[in-house]
Amino acid sequence: MIIKGSPSVPSVPVTMPGACKVQMQMLLGPQDQCPNFAMRKFSVAPGGNTPRHQHDYEHEILVLAGRGTALSEQGVREIGPGDVIFVPANELHQFVNTGGENMVFICLVPASVHRPVDCSK
């Protein structure tokens, strides 16, 4: 079992084209010998957004703080603390912070496809 405090995990800027004011922490993943999933924590500053992108794997999201919108092929929906989101493989998506505080969310992806900063693949 691995237990660590998330504040001790370094935060790095997301440099993927189209990302604006986004930081990521790799909470658990291949570096922790997690064979199946990678757990990442994203923080999107006010006015920021994740890139509009798609990839060949699903991911699951839990919004912890802040308010924003989730863009998908079905349109744009408001999101906030406590919301859970399933993004199927190959679906175009983007998250935008529309509030006045950081929008923070946990994102789970398959460990086999994790990219430390560029989460587009």
Q: Would you give per-residue pLDDT tens digits along the chain (121 residues)?
A: 999 999 999 999 999 999 999 999 999 998 888 889 999 999 999 999 999 999 999 999 999 999 999 999 999 999 999 999 999 999 999 999 999 999 999 999 998 876 444 443 3
Contacts of 74 (CB under 8 A, 6+ apart): none
Q: CA 91, CA 32: separation in Å to the nearest integer?
A: 28
pLDDT computed for residue 33 by the predictor? 87
Q: What are the structural domains of the chain?
A: 12-113 (2.60.120.10)
CA–CA distances in Å: residue 89 to residues 10, 55, 70, 118: 28, 6, 16, 16
If DSSP codes are grouped into helix, strand and coil, which group holds residue 39? strand
- Look up the pTM and report it: 0.90
DSSP 31: G
